[in-house]
Chain A
Amino acid sequence: MSRSMAPALWRPDSRLWRPNRRSFLQALGGSAAALAALGPTPAHAAGTADNILFFYFPDGVPGWSQNGDASLWHCTGGETDFSLGHTVQALAPFRDRCLFFNGLTMGDTDNGSHPGGAKKLLTASDHGNNESIDQHLSRSVGSDRPWHHLYLGAQAGADGASGDKFITYPVAGSTMAPEDDPRRAFSSLFGSGGVSSGGSGSGDDGGSTETDPAVARRLSVLDASMGEIHDLKARLGTTEKRKLDLHLESLYELEGRLNPGGSGGGSGSGGTDWGGCDDPSVEVGSLTDSNLYDPALFPDIISAQIDIAVQAMACGMTRVVTLQCSHHTSDLIMSRFPGSEMYDPGYDMRSHQASHYGSGHDWGSREFAAFDQQRRYWVDRFVELLTKMDSIPGRTGTLLDDSIVVLCTEVCDGNTHQHHDLPVVVAGGGGGALHGGRLLNTGGRYHGDLWVALGRAMGEDMWSFGSSGSVLDGVLT
């Protein structure tokens, strides 16, 4: 399958959030106080991560088979002298900045269920009865950025997926949809899609930013809306309080983007641009409005979303990212990915289909061979992400050294879909907070304990999360 068009380069018309000192001064009237407000972000404590990114893929791994075959994913050996599992071999160059785990469990509730696992994964709570860890961190340590949270998808909404197929929970029990379209994600972050200088049109007119009367008007509108919501809350007491609180929170975040240094949401100065933000761009291949869910475009889409996530972090626009590839029990036809090992135009092999490869690791089985290829494909995408982050200078070395990057999925072995021995990898230096290059044999620790540890690494003073009441040992320096 060849592309008939040259790859399309998607560039912004104006850069709303490029750290632009001159325009920032304009917004503050050029006062001396404004000068003092510029400069690096508030200093982080030594050993704190700047960013955290959750990279999710569906339908598990070739783990412990029904017949008892050893997992191909999990590493073996001691804490430092361990062997990488077959499926994660591609992580070898990053080994000393990775943490591998054995024995993490999501508990017994709904064990054996894909949706049950997806609900627990980021919420650390049975049935998804909690905000997810990414949303939680976005509200605490992530709230000093214009985007408290960036939630991107790669065909996550395909085939009518919704509800428990999304992994991010803004409030207990309710999910939200990721942004599946990299063009929209990019415009929202880097384009002028945030503000239109005129009244009508799609908003890509460009134009000046902070002094734009449209910005002032939007701030006034936000103010009016927030006042109305406060009045409504006062009248309603506890009725629908959660809904209105979330609405207010969202408006405060938007206010923070339009009014850096204002009352909404922290400094919003955009963080420190370490040079990865000179010229944001993303290649979207032959993506159009009508082929967003064509599996043949998946490789272009996931690469584009990775690029966008990396640039958003490098530009200091967000500290918390979730990148969701497809969704559990996925009908994603991975054999249609051009240029991949799985590519086979003559035979459709889907993610969930391959995950049910049978009772044992039979390399002669079509499903098992495909499942192995697919899972290594996901690890390769993770490696692509780490490589891109590692190419950007950072505070403690590179952006990767400054960050935490988590690879996860909602079950262990795809065939048995157990919730035990969760296949998670934690990569990055965490700004010095992570103690990498090790295999942690946790002996049955709850996976939420890992989220607590990572939250601490991000600088939040947390000791529990969801059903977890402890910090996983051995993760932090």
Chain B
Amino acid sequence: MKPPVRLVALLTIAVSCGGDADPDKSAGTDSDSGLTDASTCDHANAPPRALRLLTRREYAHTIDDLFSWLDGDDPASCSTHTDCSVAFESCLSGSCRPDPCDVLSVAVGPDIASSSQSVVIAGAFNDWASTVEQGGAPLSWSAEHNLHWAKLALPEGEWPYKLVIDGSVWITDPGNPELIDDGSGNVNSLAILDCSDPGTSDGAFAPDVDPVSDFPAESRPSHHPFDNAVSEGLVTTPRADALLSAADTLAGQIADAAHLLPCDTGASAYDNEACWLSFIDELALRTWRRPLASAERERLFSYLASESDTEAGVHFMTQVLLSSPHFLYRTELGELQPDGRYRLTAWETASLLSYTLWGTAPDTELLDAAARGLLDTSEGIAAQAGRLLSDPRAGTRFGVFATAWLGVDAVPTMSRNPDLYPGYTTELGQAMVDEVAERAATIALEGDGGLRALLTGRDTLVTPELAEIYGIEAPGAGWAPATVPAERPGVLGTPALLTATAHSDQTSPVRRGLFVRERILCQDLGTPPADAGGVPDVDPDASTRDRFDQHSNDPACSVCHQYIDPVGFGFEHFDSIGTWREMDGAHPVDATGELLGVEGIGQMDVSTFYGLDGLAPMLANSEAASTCFVEMSWRNALGQPPEQAPCAVDELSERFDADRPIRDLLLTLVAADAFVHRSEPVAEESL
């Protein structure tokens, strides 16, 4: 039931409302482009190549995951040992785990024996057999890991052994610091297999850094409510200072955690070079999100080996790793294609997918998919995206999107008048925000909800304090599902949104009306004209509605305010913390509202409604709201304005309405051609 719409019409009208045409509306394509599955977009449409600084939130999740991985909590799936970090991990029951306590794991690099040479393990357990024929345990060469490896399961105990190269050269195991003299002048390696010592740390191994508190806040430019605007991801000096300190702290923690490191920090780094190189590779994969070039690997190892104390070397190397632009920036540079665009590498694609849908670094399976070329096609991307969207982390990330989109993040620090709202606390404010995040994630990712469900749905999760604001019985002692009254549907009816758009002691039809225009409909009212003057005198005893009605009566103001205030009046039943009210001071509330030009500023269609339950369905029915949601989703994913890829965004907007599942939108967005293509930026300009 959508009214016929034409985005192009918007550009010509906005001038009457105080100035420039709406800069935020995409140029749009002709309506005759049609709704096809394949993209019809001109190949020139691709967002600019970019370096995207990790946001505080992304940094926090990334290091949380890094520490979990180090602590062994994030087992990669595998089918063979070489699917794992074979020098120190085994593939057990389909997951990569640290080598079991009764396994002797040996790895030697090409500096010890080249790929064409044979290496066997000879020891007391096989009568010191120096060849395979005599019972020696052979090592296998792994081209992928560039080393010889073997894992021997042995009974617990102490086992002397040696490695034999090509059947005749006997050496001690370079990866094992334990040595034993056999009493006749021979020094052998000693395998100590002891399963009685758990050897794990007490408590969780977690980062000692809180980026959200410790790092400077991101700057969010106009029209981009998210913290990840590409243009604003700048390492200013205060941010550099915080990042340097954080890297120092984290590196120290990692270096300290000897029991979690796969190689012996008590020995010289050169004694365990193969092991450390393998560790560096793995660490870089988790931090730089791509394989290392050999020069990089060598350089990082040289940092590690530069200290006589290997633990100090690990600290230094890790600190460099975490201070590096390769860690701090997610690259979206790509590789030049014949058509002049740049296609993101598989690794860049993995990062983009992971940070977009989970807000953190790619996990082992995603890294693996990148390595195997599975992200080279949109089908492959869609398959991984489907997996990511089914994980709880996608819900968390979507909650972050929703609270930023709706502008409710700051609610916990907003001040309310203590006489009018004595029960308002920071904790209540935080619960308000959490409710929005939970509701949005549940609708979009646990169900098949679309924008209509977000705007008009009545199912949510509440605490007893929130239930009181909603005017319903508390459904439980803590968070519990509830259905809210029909008069306050969707995200517009949440205490968070109503608090964020009200002053400490009074409602604000202007802020609430502007919220609808800017965040739900993506309509920009522009700046007031120079001769707008100030606000006319008002009668302080009038109702809120009447006071603002007087503003709209001034023709200099009403040009724009006719689009704003009448929408905001529809919210008047809700006070500054979102509680239903019948009275506004001495006046009964009249929540009659008018929605003028729902599809665009300048259009003169007007719909009258009463209250939020009248407004919300109108918004859901509009094409402007669906288009706006697509644009917001694009901004959230790309960190760039939709104008950078107008054709792609238009195609997405054409295909979606308020009833299509949001999950489908996300899947289609990340599988879109423009998602993984970039172009050379034309000029540096502020956006």
Give me the interface of A with B, judged by CB distance under 8 Å: 65-66, 108, 110-113, 115-116, 127-129, 147-149, 151, 157-160, 162-164, 166, 170-177, 179, 188, 193-194, 196, 198-203, 214, 217-218, 220-222, 224-225, 228-229, 232, 236, 239-240, 242-244, 246-247, 249-251, 253-254, 289-290, 292-295, 331, 333, 336, 345-348, 350, 353, 356-359, 366, 413-418
Contacts and interface: CB of A to CB of B under 8 A. Distances in A.
A179 B249 contact: no
A244 B325 contact: yes
A358 B415 contact: no
B57 interface: no
Given A174-B221, A336-B415, A415-B535, A194 B323 contact: no
Interface pairs A-B: 4 shortest CB-CB: A199-B252, A173-B686, A415-B534, A160-B410
B333 interface: yes
B504 A348 contact: yes
A353 B529 CA distance: 20
B635 to A, nearest CB: 14
Contacts of B51: 240, 243-244
Contact of A247 (B49, B240, B505, B684): B240
B237 A225 contact: no
A232 B324 CA distance: 11
B343 interface: no
Contacts of A242: 684
A290 B248 contact: no
B685 A173 contact: yes
Given A112-B528, A176-B234, A196-B245, A160 B407 contact: yes
Given A199-B252, A221-B320, A162 B530 contact: no
Nearest to A331: B503
A250 B235 contact: yes
Interface in B524-559: 527-538, 540
B533 to A, nearest CB: 5
B49 A239 contact: yes
A112 B530 contact: yes
Contact of B208 (A194, A201, A346): A201
Interface string B253-285: 101100000000000000000000000000000
Interface stretch (B75-83, B87-95, B212-220): B212-220
B682 to A, nearest CB: 11
A174 B323 CA distance: 23
Contacts of A292: 413
B409 interface: yes
A108 to B, nearest CB: 7
Contacts of B323: 221-222, 224-225
A417 B414 CA distance: 25
Contacts of A333: 415, 504
B253 A199 contact: yes
B325 A112 contact: no
Contact of B528 (A113, A250, A254): A113
A114 B684 CA distance: 25
A196 B503 contact: no
A199 B309 CA distance: 14
A198 B249 CA distance: 8
A200 B249 CA distance: 5
A203 B409 contact: no
B325 A290 contact: no
B248 A159 contact: no
B222 interface: yes
A358 B316 contact: no
5 contacts: A173-B685, A196-B249, A199-B248, A250-B237, A358-B535
Contact of B236 (A188, A229, A246, A359): A246
Nearest to A295: B415
B251 interface: yes
A172 B237 CA distance: 17
B535 A239 contact: no
A194 B246 CA distance: 11
B660 interface: no
Contacts of B315: 199, 217
Given A177-B217, A203-B245, A246-B234, 11 more contacts: A115-B222, A162-B219, A174-B686, A196-B248, A199-B251, A221-B323, A243-B233, A246-B235, A247-B234, A254-B241, A353-B503
B316 A221 contact: yes
B419 interface: yes
